[in-house]
Structure 1
Amino acid sequence: MTNSEVVPPEVTEKLRAILTEAGVSDNKKLVRRLLETGIGLGVDRTTRLDLKIASAALTEMRDAFALFAPFARTPKVTIFGSARARPDSPAYQQTRHVSAALAERGWMVVTGAGPGIMQAAAEGAGSRSSLGVSIRLPFEEKPNSSIEGSRNVAMKYFFTRKLMLVKESHGFVYVPGGFGTLDELFELLTLQQTGKAEPTPIVLLDEPGGRLWHGLRDFAEGQLLPAGVISPDDFDRVLLTDSVTAAADEITGFWRNYDSLRWADDRLVLRLRAEPTAAEIADLDERFGDLLTSGGFRSRGPLHREIRDDDHLGLPRLVCRFDPFKVGSLYRLIRALNNLDSAPDAARPEQLH
């Protein structure tokens, strides 16, 4: 049953009037749908507990959206890792170094605002380049001292916190951690494997000489792959390294030429910073033709849907009929696009938004 079937037409008209009176001018239809959903929950006689969950989740998301809004045009990297890491541990120091390196390149660092690796990341980036999304727990009630109060939003639910830690970032760094870190990693890998999230760079950063992440890869390739439950290229999208420089280069270099993508029915639109030459497109056809259902790559201007939505209209594009069952291989294609001779030397932070 849709909202329109639950809410009588006269109520919908009153909601329109309320929105106008309240001064809502943008996206009025979407805001009205939110109100209609709330009314629908009441009509459904939803239990008090379920209503509290829905209300708290929406309130938390509003607070988080407000936190991130002023920094919408600044690229962000989320850093995950153990809350138990001590300041004198190699992993802690490694985290400080990589977050400092990314802050120097114009990036903001997002963390769960707790102790351990989260504190190390905030310290490395500095308070002006740090944002926190903390969780309210009985034994972890306050954000770490490196996150300013105005730069942190506290969440009751893990699922809303996880949404914001992933939604706003252009890259992800995972330092060895426990169940929480692995949970975040596997959820992100699942979202990208299934095409529910756009490709982004993922770095598994070990302490110098560390092998923890190599053990995870060995398990995936030695156990999961032979069992047929993952694809051969599922782990190719991840960089394993113990080098801070390599980690920072992977995060920023992913956006050297590639900007974004959009699906239009069975067509995939890849927005770039520099237009490929005819010879480069022919080479892409030869190397990645097996990922397409028909035809090849075509350089063209914005599609009608992009023009309607004013969607990155100033960027050159490659359009193709990409096999949706092979979205896991988009990483190989994006890396090739970033390595074209026509690609710019590096992406500037202000270009990412």
Structure 2
Amino acid sequence: MPKSNYSVGDPKAEKMIQDLVDFCGNDAAPDLIKEILTTVVKMGLEHKDRGDFKLTNNTLKELRHAFRVFLPYREKRKVVIFGSARTPESDPSYRMAQDTAQALVDKGHMIITGAGGGVMEAANRGAGRENSFGINIKLPKEQRANLHIEGDSKLMQFKYFFTRKLMFIKESDATILFPGGFGTLDEGFENLTLFQTGKCMPRPILLAEPENGTYWESFVRQFEEELLSRGYISSIDMNLFHIVHSAEEAVQHIEDYYRYYHSLRYVNEFTVLRFTRALTPAVLDYLNHEFQDILCTGNFQASDALEAEKAHNEFPDLPRLVFQFNKQDYGRLNEMILWINRNLT
């Protein structure tokens, strides 16, 4: 929400900022453009550390470029696939990643990877250039983009891990993690943490490995024996992810997740879930009986688009489920979304 009193405090500077806002001619967010420019001027007046300016400058440039690349494809759902850059082509995980990406593209999805070798290469290979994005990272020992995304206009180069990781989450609708090293685990735990704390939208998070694999099963045992038993996580948090052992199972889980569920939006104190089919009275009765524990107050109610959504033309024709969520039990929220998808007919 823009701050109405956020300013440099100098009439001359305020006029120059407003002139730049007018020059942009952007009627979608003139208030936010003004705040961005105000922040830049305030930094220029208050700060002298060149390193901080370099960080801010590079961050803004990386985000601007990535937004521009993804913008034409915002209407298509995308799946981000993570896994080791060292996985050889002979590894069953390589073939499973390739098959999963290809099958997802056949269902209308696009694929995002870290653009490197191994599992990332397999996913870009399965998706093909037309349906691939690559979000590469610049390292001291350069990570070269794989041949299936190299030179493509949808390949992006990032200096910072934090901006790169932001784009992985922001621009995707589902996450698939194949076995990998520290980088894969970093992405996996960040996905789980962001979902657990409500800092990303609900999404399928799939831990994928071929049949009889032990990689993710051993991690889940650790979750249960060490984290859950000590109270570091709750049993509800175990609902944030799902293990799959085949490309078919991975694709089916993602398709099922978005069978009727469309998206989530917060409007003041209300949480709004949008669906592609209206919720029946029987479904509402069940939710109000079985999922009351995730409400702060009130009940689950079917609704049309709220006024704040209509003002921005946010899917005005989709039916809604509106409620006052406690913004704590995201595992239960995920469980509820899955239940609705299975039972709404």
Smaller-chain TM-score range? Answer: over 0.9
Measure, in 2, the Cα distance between the counterparts of 1:102 and 1:124. Answer: 9
Deviates more, 1:303-312 or 1:103-112: 303-312
1:113-143 alpha-carbon deviations (Å, 9 max, x no partner): 0111111100011111101110011323431
Q: Counterparts of 1:113-262 in structure 2 under 5 Å? A: 113-149=115-151, 150-262=153-265
1:223-250 alpha-carbon deviations (Å, 9 max, x no partner): 0011111111212121112121111111
In the alignment, is residue 69 of structure 1 matched against residue 71 of structure 2?
A: yes
Residue 263 of structure 1 deviates from its aligned partner by 2.2
**Residue 107 of structure 1 is aligned with which of 93, 104, 109?**
109
Measure, in 1, the Cα distance between the counterparts of 2:72 and 2:328. Answer: 37
Deviates more, 1:298-307 or 1:160-169: 298-307
Partner of 1:18: 20
In the alignment, is residue 82 of structure 1 matched against residue 84 of structure 2?
A: yes
TM-score for both structures, normalised by structure 1? 0.92
In the alignment, is residue 295 of structure 1 matched against residue 298 of structure 2?
A: yes
1:48-77 alpha-carbon deviations (Å, 9 max, x no partner): 011101100110111111111111111100
In the alignment, is residue 268 of structure 1 matched against residue 282 of structure 2?
A: no
**Which amino acid in structure 1 is aligned with residue 134 of structure 2?**
G
Measure, in 1, the Cα distance between the counterparts of 2:318 and 2:12. Answer: 45
- Listed as ranges, the gaps of 5+ residues in structure 2 are none
**Which amino acid in structure 2 is aligned with residue 30 of structure 1?**
L
Residue 48 and residue 79 in structure 1: after superposition, are their counterparts in 2 closer, same or farther (change >3 A)? Answer: same
Measure, in 1, the Cα distance between the counterparts of 2:219 and 2:195. Answer: 18
Partner of 1:349: none
Give the match's secondary structure for 2:243: strand
Residue 78 of structure 1 deviates from its aligned partner by 0.3
Residue 5 of structure 1 deviates from its aligned partner by 4.3
Deviates more, 1:252-261 or 1:14-23: 14-23
Residue 10 and residue 165 in structure 1: after superposition, are their counterparts in 2 closer, same or farther (change >3 A)? Answer: same
Over the aligned positions, Cα root-mean-square deviation in angstroms equals 1.7
Residue 305 of structure 1 deviates from its aligned partner by 2.0
Determine which structure has greater relative contact order: mean sequence separation of CA pairs < 8 Å that are 6+ residues apart, divided by chain length: 1
**8 Å Cα contact 2:206/2:242 also seen in 1:** yes
Residue 3 and residue 209 in structure 1: after superposition, are their counterparts in 2 closer, same or farther (change >3 A)? Answer: farther
**8 Å Cα contact 1:3/1:37 also seen in 2:** no
- Listed as ranges, the gaps of 5+ residues in structure 1 are 343-353
Residue 35 of structure 1 deviates from its aligned partner by 1.4
Measure, in 1, the Cα distance between the counterparts of 2:185 and 2:61. Answer: 27
**8 Å Cα contact 2:210/2:245 also seen in 1:** yes
**Which amino acid in structure 2 is aligned with residue 111 of structure 1?**
T
Measure, in 1, the Cα distance between the counterparts of 2:204 and 2:127. Answer: 19
Residue 129 and residue 321 in structure 1: after superposition, are their counterparts in 2 closer, same or farther (change >3 A)? Answer: same
Residue 4 and residue 320 in structure 1: after superposition, are their counterparts in 2 closer, same or farther (change >3 A)? Answer: closer
Residue 264 of structure 1 deviates from its aligned partner by 2.7
Partner of 2:44: 42
Measure, in 2, the Cα distance between the counterparts of 1:295 and 1:21. Answer: 47
Residue 302 of structure 1 deviates from its aligned partner by 2.0
